[in-house]
Amino acid sequence: MDLYLVRHAIAFDFDTSHWPDDSQRPLTPEGQKRFGRAARGLRSLVPSVELVLSSPWVRAWQTAELLESEAGWPRPVACEALGSGRAPADVLQALQPFATYSAIALVGHEPILHELASYLLTADTDAQIEMKKGSVAYLEVGDGLRPGAGRLHWLLPPKVLRALAP
């Protein structure tokens, strides 16, 4: 299976006076604009996926919607396991019903995304993998979505993705 790990785009800073519930914090207008261009660049590398699972948190969901509108990827499906504070094992459990799919995108947050990448690559969560906001990692995972079965093909920051946009 090809897995694309997408960190949400640039969001407003944490501010309890505006968003008492951090799950409601949205992308900034600039974050939307920049990631829209990055999504168009991503489309040149990955024309399609079968499924987009997203954290239901607003900033991740908005990022997933930009993948739909700008990259032409499928409409996102909410996945609670991608919410902030979850463990990589929770995400792997949530992926099990889709184990026969060939290409899935996961849209979420840090630190869960770099921990998931580490878990899939090394069977541990300690690898230091930097995923900037709006970056995408492509992992190939074989043998039933198990820890240590992954191979990293690339990890691209949004600046590179934007440069690929038509």
**Model confidence pLDDT, tens digit, residues 10-43:** 999 999 999 999 999 999 999 999 999 999 999 9
Residue 24: inside a domain: yes
Averaged pLDDT for residues 88-92:
94
So what's the pLDDT on residue 142?
A: 83
- The pair of three-digit structure tokens given for residue 42, joined into one six-digit string: 């991503």
So what's the pLDDT on residue 14?
A: 93
Residue 123: inside a domain: yes
101-119 confidence digits (pLDDT tens): 999 999 999 999 999 999 9
DSSP one-letter string for 1-38: -EEEEEE---BPPP-TTT-SSGGG--B-HHHHHHHHHH
So what's the pLDDT on residue 35?
A: 98
Domain with 31 in it: 2-10+20-163
Residue 50 predicted with pLDDT over 80 = yes
Looking at the 3D structure of the chain, how many domains does it have?
A: 1
Sign of CA pseudo-dihedral 73, 134, 43, 155: negative
Averaged pLDDT for residues 136-159:
93
Query: E strands within the chain?
Result: 2-7, 51-54, 77-78, 103-108, 136-141, 150-156
pTM above 0.75, yes or no: yes
As a whole number, the mean pLDDT across the chain is 96
Residue 15: inside a domain: no
What CATH number is given to the structural domain containing 38?
A: 3.40.50.1240
Q: Within a 10 A sphere around the Cβ of 123, how many other Cβ atoms?
A: 12
Averaged pLDDT for residues 128-152:
93
So what's the pLDDT on residue 149?
A: 92
So what's the pLDDT on residue 21?
A: 94
How deeply is 142 buried, as exposed, middle or buried, from its count of CB atoms within 10 A (0-12, 13-18, 19+)? Answer: exposed
Query: How many Å apart are CA 123 and CA 133, to the nearest integer?
Result: 24
Residue 118: inside a domain: yes
So what's the pLDDT on residue 145?
A: 87
Residue 84 predicted with pLDDT over 90 = no
Residue 100: inside a domain: yes
